[in-house]
Amino acid sequence: MKNTIAISGNSGPKVRSDCEITLELKTEGGIIIDLVSKVEALFGESIKSLISEILEFFGVKNALVKINDSGALPFVIAARLESAVKQLINTDLDYLPEFIKENGYSTIRDRFRFSRLYLPGNTPGLMINAGLHSADGIILDLEDSVAPEKKDEARLLVRNALRQINFCGAERMVRINQGERGLEDLHFVIPHNVNLILIPKCESADYVKSVENEIAVIKTKLNLNNQVFLMPIIESALGVENSYEIARSSGNVVAIAIGLEDYTADLGVPRTAEGKESLYARTRLVVAARAAGIQPIDSVFSDVGDMEALKQNVLTSKALGFEGMGCIHPRQIPVIRQGFAPDETDMEKSKKIVLAFETAKLKGLGVVAMGTKMIDPPVVARAQKTIDFAVRLGLLSGNWIDDIPVKEN
């Protein structure tokens, strides 16, 4: 016999901003809604009318809907109910909440990706204010942070979140699952202005290409022209060995990241704070990314309580050549951002070098000197890079040279 009862969503004493919906299809009696909600006095009527509207949309005429609500926003309720409906009936319809106009932005290839905040794809409470913490990117995760039996409902929640939540200019990213499921995931997110797809446990250039092809198919079918960048995550020995090929596999790949939990597991060694066991992989990844002209991004730091250790980790990461790392808590964002930005001494030194270079150029001198010390061209180039970096971050004015008082000599 065909299943007539479906459950979707979450409830429990610690659950917030979510709901659990039990949908039971009936043969008669119309729609009966049994609502238990902590916000019933304020939103009871609006929740009930939303449920009726969605059931009508899917052509469900007779059903008992039990909803245990802990303050879920409408797009969450909608995702939960749609998921329950789709467990019971076959339909090509999608109940799409409004795509808010603030979410229409695109991003550029070489924007900063210092910090990108992971959000579990089936936990709405963590998503709503995520954009307020100024991460460079927000990752709605469909992979490891979602329990296997919740993978389907997470897709709808993430889809609705992409339409409804304003992430305040952060790059809108989704981490898809591995393999076939990952390719299917794309159908739920690509039409809703995703800026970047993270490809987990990536081991080959071919897989990146298959993701790219799938995206192209979806875009052609729906006549979309939004740019979707790719960030493969290297999490295995094979991935590390193939990292250069992966990095240059497509023009849409803008960065590669390393995931050290899985990588160290693959090697069969414990992951240490010092990170000696992953030094080769990390430097290999940096070199591969640089060779391919894309950004190398470091693994997440998992102790969210230890900001000092995080800071040290960021400094090491920066010294190895990485340009960013993942975050699993909003409080890590400012530490990471500050860590990757050029520090004061660095900037001062670079300013002097660039100034000396400009002066030499003006005087038609072939050699740049500071005091009695000769400055090699690569040193000038690095200093110029630091200055450009500082200007882009807003740490330095674009006409900083003009702001320096002219010395007579």
Partner 1 sequence: MAIKTIINAAGRSVPLEINGQPVIPFKGVGKHRPEGGKYSPPIPTCSDYPDDGNKVVTSLEEALRKCGLRDGMTISTHHHLRDGDLVSNKVFELASAMGVKDLVWFPSASFPCNDPVIKYLDDGTINRIEGSMNGPLGRYVSEGKMKGTAILRSHGGRVQAIQDGEVKIDIAVLAAPTADSYGNAKGTGGTSACGVLGYAKADSMYASKVIVVTDNLIDLPCFPMEIEGNYVDYVVVVDKIGIPEKIVSGTTQITKSPDRLLIAELTTTFLEKSGILKNGVTMQAGAGGTSLAIAVFVHQILKNKGWKSKFGFGGSTKYMVKMLEEGQMGFILDAQAFDLDAVRSIENNPNHIPYPVFNAYNYHSKGNLTSMMDIMILGATEVDLNFNGNVVTHSDGYLLHGIGGWQNCLHARNVILPIPLFRDRIPVIVDEVTTLCGPGELIDVIITERGIAINPLRQDLIDSVKGSGLPLKTLKELKDEAEKICGRPQKPQFEEDIVAAIKWVDGTIIDVVRKIKSG
Interface residue list for partner 1 (CB under 8 A): 16-17, 38-46, 70-74, 128-129, 132-133, 329-331
Question: Taking the complex as a whole, how short is the minimal distance between the CB of residue 75 and partner 1, in angstroms?
Answer: 10
Question: Taking the complex as a whole, how short is the minimal distance between the CB of residue 126 and partner 1, in angstroms?
Answer: 9
Question: Taking the complex as a whole, how short is the minimal distance between the CB of residue 86 and partner 1, in angstroms?
Answer: 24
Six token digits for residue 289: 């990314």
Name the residue nearer to partner 1 (CB basis): 132 or 365.
Answer: 132
Would you say 192 and 164 are in contact if contact means Cβ atoms under 8 Å apart?
A: no
Name the residue nearer to partner 1 (CB basis): 117 or 288.
Answer: 117
Six token digits for residue 119: 């959000």
Place of tokens 């010092």: 274
Query: Amino acid identity of 140?
Result: L
Place of tokens 């003006």: 362
Question: Taking the complex as a whole, how short is the minimal distance between the CB of residue 40 and partner 1, in angstroms?
Answer: 8
Question: Taking the complex as a whole, how short is the minimal distance between the CB of residue 166 and partner 1, in angstroms?
Answer: 9
Would you say 295 and 323 are in contact if contact means Cβ atoms under 8 Å apart?
A: yes
Question: Taking the complex as a whole, how short is the minimal distance between the CB of residue 167 and partner 1, in angstroms?
Answer: 13
Question: Taking the complex as a whole, how short is the minimal distance between the CB of residue 6 and partner 1, in angstroms?
Answer: 24
Name the residue nearer to partner 1 (CB basis): 127 or 202.
Answer: 127
Name the residue nearer to partner 1 (CB basis): 78 or 353.
Answer: 78
Question: Taking the complex as a whole, how short is the minimal distance between the CB of residue 17 and partner 1, in angstroms?
Answer: 6
**Ramachandran region, residue 201 (left: φ > 0; alpha: ψ -120 to 50; beta: rest):** left
Name the residue nearer to partner 1 (CB basis): 41 or 319.
Answer: 41
Q: How far apart are CA 19 and CA 185, in angstroms?
A: 23
Question: Taking the complex as a whole, how short is the minimal distance between the CB of residue 12 and partner 1, in angstroms?
Answer: 14
Name the residue nearer to partner 1 (CB basis): 134 or 204.
Answer: 134
